[in-house]
Structure 1
Amino acid sequence: MLKIEKYAAIDIGSNAIRLLISTVTTPENKPTHFKKTSLIRVPIRLGSDVFVNKRISEANYQRMLKAMESYKLLMELHQISKYRACATSAMRDAENGDELAKEILQNTGINIEIINGDDEAAIIAATDLQDLISSDSTYLYVDVGGGSTELTIYHEGKTVASKSFQIGTVRLLNELVSDEDWRNFETWIKTNTRDFSKVKLIGSGGNINNIFKNSGKKIGKPLSFFYMSSYYQLLNSLTYEERIVQLGLNQDRADVIIPATKIYLTAMKFSKAKNVYVPKIGLVDGIVKSLYQADSN
């Protein structure tokens, strides 16, 4: 018998808040199919509040509340079976993060889980990432967000090491990443990849997805270190307005894409990776997969 359900995932990040509605189709005796029915992104940029002032401002809380009210209505209209809302670095670091999560629950009925970096990496690992990892290769998975970057090393199909760093695009824009942060980032990558002769990079996040889209590469083909370096130089040569007009970037993407590219290039340099693969997966995809797996068990 054919089984069709809809799941929803909400990712409350430091740069944007996303809602993914996914239709999960399970035919009898055939593999389950996941289809992105709707993906909505609202660029509230909570990190600009939190990383500077330690709190989410009233103005941005009201915007977040409206987004949650809208998402609740959309989930009701789509008649979803189950949802999960996860907040990452910004709400995790905000002094009023727990308080605002309770207010949103009272006002909308949406329960927000404030997760740590390890939880975030584990959720992302529940995506189709495992299907992309070859059992005879070594990968450094780099997920760049507004407030943090999650690193995971896979060798022969298994997780070897994982760590979250407070190096994110919004933090970098606000000059809140120290030299020590970068040294720790470098040391961790070099220490955990030195025993492997060849490392392939896998990149996730809205910025690397955008870079891949603009590259014109076919799905499955990697971006080279040379291409990433050249694109980084191009980004830096253009003004904020030129990046919007000439590259077709959204306003909230045109600034964060530069520090994001720097993070990917730095990870490639320290791991000696020559290419980065972009499977276009992220936290919302992992949330949907984790919801499905919980129902299946």
Structure 2
Amino acid sequence: MRIAVIDLGTNTFHLLIAEATGNDPEILYKTNVPVKLGEGRINDNLIIPTAFERGINCLKTFHQTISEYKVDRIRATATSAVRSAENGNDFVQAVKEATGINIETISGDEEAELIYQGVKLSGAIQELSLIMDIGGGSVEFILCDMEQLIWKKSYNIGAARLMQQFFKSDPLSDEDKQAILFHVQEQLTDLFEICEKYKPQILIGSAGAFETFAELVTRKQNQFADIAQIKSYPFNYDDYIEIAGKLINSTHQQRVEMPGIIPLRVDMIVIATLITNYVLGRCKINRLTLSTYDLKMGVLASQI
């Protein structure tokens, strides 16, 4: 059976087409488009007209590709930007009319569950772990081990939200940093309580920003690993901390010139770094691993 998975993220729309044979699907096609659905007014719970149109056009292209691959089943999931937008249902309806694609707007809890299933497929979970997925609209945390998901929660502190609310300086000023961290601290109280109880020793970063961290670290070491072709990557913690410090203190132009940062993530990577560092510090974790498998692979697993 041939399956198409569409992940409508706040920043990026992803399309994955796979041939499901047994438990090990063969990926036939994979792409992502920086639609920036949350651009401009995500904190006002609104998809602005230009972003709305970009989303429709992207899904028309995805639909054409899906038709070419003669897919048997499509599952399209929308996350934070659509579920929080007052015109989110209008967008879902407009996509249905333009392409015939049925979009399922999933809750934060469902999103966290699917992220867990995707990361589990990567083999990155080897012990008691805290999974972190930094999206544009929300950030998901999952406490788990090899046997089970213990606790999960989605928080509306995604990189696009925080950037629109707090990112007022270049390079990011101490005042802006403190405002971001104060907001994150207020939001994540129950996360820190659960981590104090269970004491996970490793943070698994799910794709996205963590792929950028891995690109920067491997380039620094002249490894030139193809991040897109691996399932997981264990960071040297000192290398990560060095890269993180450089990102937080850099100007926009300096980040533009850093090989390994895609244009969409040039500014949001600063927010992602601040949140990651804060969580690592508060939870007393000094080990970090990337899982390139995320929500998309969890959705694919759910269809097999």
Gaps of 5+ in 2: 167-178
Judge which range, 255-264 or 68-77, deviates more. 255-264
Determine if the alignment matches structure 1 residue 274 to structure 2 residue 286.
Answer: yes
Instruction: Give 2:25's aligned residue.
Output: 34
Judge which range, 203-212 or 41-50, deviates more. 41-50
Superposition deviation, residue 203 in structure 1: 0.6
Are the structure 2 counterparts of residues 186 and 56 from structure 1 closer, same or farther at C-alpha, using a change threshold of 3 Å?
Answer: closer
Instruction: Give 1:196's aligned residue.
Output: 198
TM-score by length of 1: 0.87
Judge which range, 182-191 or 271-280, deviates more. 182-191
TM-score by length of 2: 0.85
Instruction: Give 2:155's aligned residue.
Output: 165
Are the structure 2 counterparts of residues 60 and 195 from structure 1 closer, same or farther at C-alpha, using a change threshold of 3 Å?
Answer: closer
- 1:166 and 1:271 map into 2 onto residues whose CA distance is 20
Match of 1:14 among 7, 10, 14: 10
Determine if the alignment matches structure 1 residue 207 to structure 2 residue 219.
Answer: no
Instruction: Give 1:70's aligned residue.
Output: 61
Match of 2:111 among 115, 120, 123: 120
- 2:165 and 2:213 map into 1 onto residues whose CA distance is 23
1:77-116 matches, cutoff 5 A = 77-116=68-107
Maintained 8 Å contact 2:6/2:13: yes
Are the structure 2 counterparts of residues 157 and 184 from structure 1 closer, same or farther at C-alpha, using a change threshold of 3 Å?
Answer: farther
What secondary structure sits across from 2:50 in the alignment?
helix
Superposition deviation, residue 56 in structure 1: 1.1
Q: Deviations over 1:214-273 (max 9, x none)?
A: 322776552244333221221234332332223242211211111112222122112111
Letter of the aligned partner of 1:162 in structure 2?
A: K
What secondary structure sits across from 1:173 in the alignment?
helix
Maintained 8 Å contact 1:50/1:90: no
Superposition RMSD on alpha carbons, in Å? Answer: 2.2
Percent sequence identity over aligned pairs: 26
Match of 2:21 among 25, 28, 53: 25
Judge which range, 222-231 or 140-149, deviates more. 222-231
Determine if the alignment matches structure 1 residue 145 to structure 2 residue 118.
Answer: no
Judge which range, 123-132 or 52-61, deviates more. 123-132
Q: Report the number of matched residues.
A: 281
Determine if the alignment matches structure 1 residue 238 to structure 2 residue 250.
Answer: yes
- 1:96 and 1:181 map into 2 onto residues whose CA distance is 26
Maintained 8 Å contact 1:189/1:267: no
